[in-house]
Structure 1
């Protein structure tokens, strides 16, 4: 059995920040999950629908692995990323850092992991690996998935080889922190401004505040959009609240990040942004509940109400990000 020594196997709410936490704590940098999410400029919004999809998807964060790249750039971390089409080379890329005493991050499809409680294909899932033996790999996943877990090497190989939406070619990565690491506190304002700018100026109408506004127009018609609303709508609500989002489609995490920032930076813009995101987070949880109720009851008035709250959310989040962009 090969194990990285002195590993802190704490699971968090979201997969990518959980993996980053494991890798960074091993480098001597212990940041809260909201701080990891915020410094990685992780908050976003996407409304995704196409003819090929059974039902629309609402996303609350930047695309998989972008948060890791953002965080490494903003803190000046050395991020080494390996990708390959070869399963044999992929295993070497994962095992070599562990043999050298360093945990490794992996992007894979959660469907094939033995311990995963809900079997759905999600190719943007990220875990930290800290050990292996002849049968199993030892991983850290989110707290809801069990934190420190293990999966068969065969299942891990299938998860890493899967192709489809959001997958990467056997992606593995390591992080090293330089001895003269930039103070995370000094990078808070640039990270917030990066996030705000992307949210306020989306390149297409599906993203940012425009995406929320677009969702507000489409949600009232969701009973007709689905072949099986009793299943599709509650599932959409569950993804917003429970699927590694920290609740309220990642808005709880960003609210808590802004609160943590306000403890060390005295700024009225920051305090206003925090109070607006506190309001937005509560409203997103309401929207999810209304969508679930609409699916269970078949009553469209819940969706009309969700639509009107989403109009309001587009405005609140636009105001919040405009204020934060002035930091």
Structure 2
């Protein structure tokens, strides 16, 4: 069984790609950057390494899994349904029923078990959109980097969906969207204009708040202070440090990718509003994205550096500069966002 009218929608980040495909099939065409911005997706989070001394902490550039989807759907007035099946058989039955009812099914999976993934690491907070099942195959949409629409053995999907290994697993988690409000499908642009500044305000309030050493700017500064010591504290640093750079660049969790998405969101918002107040922030996030890419370049070049400690100190300095820039940008955004969102209520 495959959804006959389904048209795969491209994307660069797994959860927003999945959400975009669910909404598009339900009749709501919204860009991925817009969904990321309405979902208040940008952040920096620090999660302790499961084996300190041998591995690095998980450092992500976004809010937690599923929160982008929940926030975006709330802003759009769309009901997002989530469920956790007790076992793989129940999860398969639930997915088949949702497909029969015409829904695209979003699910959290472990990339280790996806046949088309080149990575051999466990990461269980990846999202894909399921649009078909038959006796032995599953039809899914992943990010552009992973080839977009893919076919894989259903047994592989079963293992990926049910995995409890890796970072923040959610075994057998599935979600779908109910029929959207009529106004969202007939006047999407008006709904977006009403919600953009609210989402910017909520994001800026969160990013300028002191949330300790695990989230936000404080977490970024903590990461900067620890990265400078990685050469001394990590076993196999020559392998681990460049691996962090590659992970940030290619796995979607790094700062550069999410800053690029947030910049694209602000640019689209500026175009919809015709509001030049957003221009300096579009430019500012372009500069922040560039600085993130510089930090990643230095991490990936660590193994061949003449002085590894100095290389990591340069990365730390770059991350502290990024923290200063992001703090300033969100403090600046909070001023017009508070004014504009207040006028709309």
TM-score range, shorter chain: over 0.9
Q: Is the 8 A contact 1:272 1:323 kept in 2?
A: no
Q: Does 1:173 align with 2:182?
A: no
Stretch deviating more after TM superposition (19-28 or 84-93): 84-93
Q: Residue in 2 aligned with 1:37?
A: 36
**Residues 111, 119 of structure 2: 8 Å contact kept:** no
- Give the secondary-structure state (helix, strand or coil) at the position aligned to 1:180: helix
| Structure 1, 28-37 or 198-207: larger mean CA deviation | 198-207
**RMSD between aligned residues:** 1.7
Unaligned segments of structure 1, at least 5 residues: none
1: distance between equivalents of 2:3 and 2:255? 32
Q: How many residues align?
A: 326
Equivalent positions of 1:62-141 (< 5 A) are: 62-141=63-142
Any conservation in 2 of the 1:48–1:57 contact (CA below 8 Å)? yes
- What is the rounded CA distance, in whole Å, between the counterparts of 1:230 and 1:200 in structure 2? 35
CA contact under 8 A between 1:142 and 1:244: conserved in structure 2?
no
Aligned-residue offset at 1:19: 0.7
Aligned residue number for residue 23 of structure 2: 24
Length-normalised TM-score, structure 1: 0.94
User: 2 CA distance for matches of 1:51 and 1:127?
Assistant: 25
Kept after mapping to 2: 8 A contact 1:246/1:252 = no
Moved more, 49-58 or 172-181: 49-58
- 1:101-160: per-residue Cα shift (whole Å, max 9, x none)? 221111111111111121211111110000011111100001111111012111111111
TM-score by length of 2: 0.90
| Conserved 8 A contact 2:99-2:132 | yes
Does the CA-based 8 Å contact 2:13-2:143 persist in structure 1?
yes
Report the counterpart of residue 52 of structure 1 in structure 2: 51
- Cα deviations across residues 14-46 of structure 1 (Å, max 9, x unaligned)? 110111111111122122221111111110001
> Contact 2:40–2:199 at 8 Å: present in 1 too?
yes
Equivalent position of 1:196 in the other structure: 204
Tell whether 2:153 aligns with 1:152: yes
Cα distance change of structure 1 residues 192 and 202 upon mapping to structure 2, 3 Å threshold? same
Superposition misfits of 4+ residues, deviation over 6 angstroms = none
Listed as ranges, the gaps of 5+ residues in structure 2 are: 338-345
Q: Secondary structure at the match of 1:130?
A: strand
**d(CA) in 2 for partners of 1:140, 1:120:** 20
Q: Could you say what secondary structure the match of 2:246 adopts?
A: helix
Q: Which residue of 1 aligns with 2:315?
A: 306
